[in-house]
Amino acid sequence: MTFKPTVDHGQQLATPDGQTIGFVDTKEEFDAVTKALCSAGYGKASIVALHLDDGIQLLKRLQEKFFFGDGEDAIIKFALKELRLGHYGLGIEVKNRDGALKVISVAEPLGAHSFSYFGTLVNERLT
């Protein structure tokens, strides 16, 4: 199953609540990680992928529309930096921190890095 990053059509991204966010540096890693996540039961509808200008515009619009605290702002700035480098951002829906750790256990061995978890009451840098 081939997975493609989200194309910007002027839509608004949802806030990252209930997601773990991480990054991969190359297309090969992106393909391996998204394939592994889908095989682990995370359907395409539960994964948002951002890349290059489309991803940058989607994040900038999210940043303009919603107020984020210092921790979230730092992660968005980091994400923008990653996308400008040509890397891929992944947001995966999870039920809780344990779900975020499961995502990491699947994705990190394939090159994914810099994961954060956005829970209901807490946001946490995990890797």
User: Quick check: is 117 in a domain?
Assistant: yes
Taking the C-alpha atoms of 88, 94, 97 and 98 in order, what is their torsion angle to the nearest 10 degrees?
A: -110
- Provide the CA 116 distance to its chain's centre, in angstroms: 9
Do the domain assignments include residue 6?
Answer: no
Range of the domain at 57: 26-125
Domain assignment of residue 47, yes or no: yes
Tokens of 79: 């994400």
Give the separation between CA 116 and CA 118, rounded to whole angstroms: 7
Residue type, 104: I
In this prediction the pTM is: 0.92
In the chain, the number of structural domains is 1
Decide if 59 is inside a domain: yes
Kindly list the distances between the CA atom of residue 45 and the CA atoms of 64, 121, 125, in Å, as whole numbers in the listed order: 25, 24, 24
In the DSSP assignment, the letter for residue 9 is S
Provide the 8-state DSSP code for 1: -
Query: Per-residue pLDDT averaged across 8-29, rounded?
Result: 94
pLDDT digits over 37-63, tens only? 999 999 999 999 999 999 999 999 988
